[in-house]
Chain A
Amino acid sequence: MAKPKASARETEGVPSFIARLADRRRWGALSGAILLVGLVWTGLSATAQQAAGGASPREGFTAPDFRLGLLGGGEVTLSDLRGKVVILNLWASWCPPCRAEMPALQAVYDANRERGLEILAVNTTYQDSEAGAARFVEEYGLTFPVPLDRTGEVSRSYLLRALPTSFFIGRDGVIRSVVIGGPMSETTIRTTVESLLGDG
């Protein structure tokens, strides 16, 4: 198209693509076309709401629901705890990092229970023993509920790959943070809980 000026420069030994980039009209036409395509694409891919959809054990998804029997009797259903911030901690009594983080969990529980924090420390009973779990709870003086995953069903639905693993669940039942492995420091637990309790 508008070639004369550019070609005059090309004779000086400038690669033609540089001359084209430097030419305001040619560059403008090219960039305009690219950005227009980009804008149209952005419009086409607009989407109403990106609700993550189904339940899945990862950030931004609803925590998979479960009902388990508790150590010492009774039952707990996760979805009944909507409206509270929940820490779901999966552990076993033979796992050293699980032991290491329990006092911190207890301390955070004591400090924030009144503000709407619940802790479910799910014992992976299928690879532990109920007696071991009971001794452990007594040894550390744990006061939060300890559900027993006897069949491994909850560990499977939460894709457990390392002990301990903790899921921080918001008041709306959506997982906000996943910590795989441990031990978590009390600081980590407190800051995460603090941000979730603050959400209202």
Chain B
Amino acid sequence: MFPILQVGPLAIQLPGLLLLAGVWVGSTIAEREAPKRGLSGEALSSLVFFGLVAGLLGARLGYALKYWTVYAEDPLGLVSLNLNTLSAPEGAMAALLTALIVARRHHLPLWPTLDAFAPGLAAFAIFAGLADLSSGNAFGAPTSLPWAIELWGAQRHPSQVYAILLAMAVFVMIRRLSRAPAFPGFLFLTWLALAAASRLFLEAFRGGSVIVLGSLRAAQLMSLIILGTALLGLHRRARLAMETEGGPRAEKVTPRQSS
């Protein structure tokens, strides 16, 4: 674990830097992917930018609402740089809503847009794994295997390394598939299925999983649901493609076709 990069007098928090790098690489890839699908790269990057900003604002406001009596006395606390005073669900909601509004304004068709983001998302997952490796988050369950690493007072599975390797494999697969002609939604739904399957597999080696229903890992149940939804989506999109066109017309797909 290597959480702080010391450059002279500057102590750089490596996990945050890696996540930022992941966002940058991911959105760059999405931007490049866009023209292949008849989309504007600029529209995609503004979607990422506004989504992130709204996500941060929403996360802070969501946190403040929970403790509004405290913030009412000290409204300046709203602009603090502290990352602990953020609330993830509200942030995700704000980011999603904003992304939807931006997408609508730029007339971005749903499925091709999601497809354009798939390789970028797969790339981001690699950086998220690197950030976890650097911070020691998402740590593994104790084990006596020869490749165990010493972390948080125990010999553990190097779960972050597993996650990085799998994320790289998924990225390569998605890159390959992105060149194949398919129906709109194919690439995104395939990425979603692969990501859910990865998490489902990896969670077994994690320590500190959230446990529900006695002994089951919540993340695995969630992944099963997402995996099932993605598979169902693939089926329905494939049927639609067969019915409407008698076959797909490669990448250039008319927006009105998306449902």
Q: Are A44 and B183 within 8 A (Cβ)? A: no
Contact between B231 and A161 (Cβ–Cβ < 8 Å)?
Answer: no
> Quick check: A58 and B152 within 8 Å, CB to CB?
yes
Interface membership of chain A positions 180-198, coded 1 if the CB is closer than 8 angstroms to chain B and 0 otherwise: 1000111110111010000
The minimal Cβ–Cβ distance linking A10 to chain B, given in whole angstroms, is: 10
B238-A191 in contact (CB<8A) = no
Q: How far is the CA of A61 from the CA of B137 in the complex (A)?
A: 13
* A134 interfacial contact with B, CB 8 Å: no
> Please, which residues of chain A bring their CB within 8 A of the CB of B220?
38, 41-42, 45
Contact A31 B231 (CB under 8 A): yes
Query: Which partner residue on chain A sits nearest B152 by CB separation?
Result: A56
List the B residue with the shortest CB-CB distance to A35.
B228
B167-179: contact bitstring with A at CB < 8 Å (1 yes, 0 no)? 0000000000000
Q: How far is the CB of A184 from chain B (nearest CB, A)?
A: 7
Assess whether B153 is in contact with A188, with CB atoms less than 8 Å apart.
no
Q: Chain B contact residues: over half helix, strand or loop, or mixed?
A: mixed
| Known contacts A15-B182, A191-B85, A186 near B204 by CB under 8 Å | no
Q: Do residues A41 and B246 form an inter-chain contact, with CB atoms below 8 A?
A: no
Q: A45-B217, A188-B85 in contact; A161/B4 too (CB < 8 A)? A: yes
Q: Is the CB of B207 within 8 A of A41?
A: no
Expressed in whole angstroms, the Cα–Cα distance for A9 and B239 within the complex equals: 12
Q: How far is the CB of B108 from chain A (nearest CB, A)?
A: 24
Judge whether B188 is part of the interface by a CB distance below 8 angstroms: no
Total contacts A to B, CB within 8 angstroms? 142
**Interface residue stretch chosen among A16-24, A86-94, A114-122:** A16-24
Rounded to whole angstroms, the CA-CA distance of A22 and B201 in the bound complex is 27
Query: CA of A53 to CA of B80 in the docked complex: distance in angstroms?
Result: 34
Kindly identify which residue among B153, B197, B216, B241 contacts A56, using a CB–CB cutoff of 8 Å.
B153
Given contacts A22-B235, A187-B74, contact A12 B247 (CB under 8 A): yes
**A55, closest chain B residue (CB):** B153
Interface positions of A from 145 to 172, Cβ below 8 Å from B: 161-162
Assess the A38–B142 pair: CB atoms within 8 A.
no
A18-B238, A187-B80 are known contacts. Are A42 and B231 too (CB-CB below 8 A)? no
Within 8 A of B (CB), among A1-49: 9, 12-15, 17-19, 21-22, 24, 27, 30-31, 34-35, 38-39, 41-42, 44-49
Contact, CB under 8 Å: B217 / A46: yes
CB pair B70 A191 closer than 8 Å: yes
When distances are taken between beta carbons in the complex, the residues of chain A under 8 Å from B255 are: none
Which residues does chain B contribute within 8 Å of A129, judged by CB atoms?
none
Q: Which residues of B contact A200 (CB under 8 A)?
A: none
Given contacts A34-B231, A47-B211, A191-B67, contact A42 B80 (CB under 8 A): no
- A61–B197 CA distance with the chains assembled, in angstroms: 29
Is the beta-carbon distance between B216 and A34 smaller than 8 angstroms?
Answer: no
Considering only residues 144-163 of chain B, those with a C-beta below 8 Å from chain A are 152-154
6 CB-based A-B contacts, threshold 8 Å: A24-B235, A56-B153, A187-B67, A187-B71, A191-B63, A191-B66
Query: Which residues of A come within 8 Å of B, CB atoms?
Result: 9, 12-15, 17-19, 21-22, 24, 27, 30-31, 34-35, 38-39, 41-42, 44-50, 52-56, 58, 60-61, 161-162, 177, 179-180, 184-188, 190-192, 194
User: Given known contacts A21-B235, A34-B227, what 13 new A-B pairs fall within 8 Å (CB)?
Assistant: A22-B238, A31-B231, A38-B197, A38-B224, A41-B200, A42-B200, A42-B216, A47-B209, A53-B207, A54-B153, A188-B77, A190-B70, A192-B84
Using a CB–CB cutoff of 8 Å, the interface residues on chain B facing chain A are 3-4, 11, 13, 63, 66-67, 70-71, 74, 76-77, 80, 82, 84-85, 136, 141-142, 152-154, 180-183, 186, 197, 200-201, 203-204, 207-211, 215-217, 220-221, 223-224, 227-228, 231-232, 234-235, 238-239, 241-242, 246-248
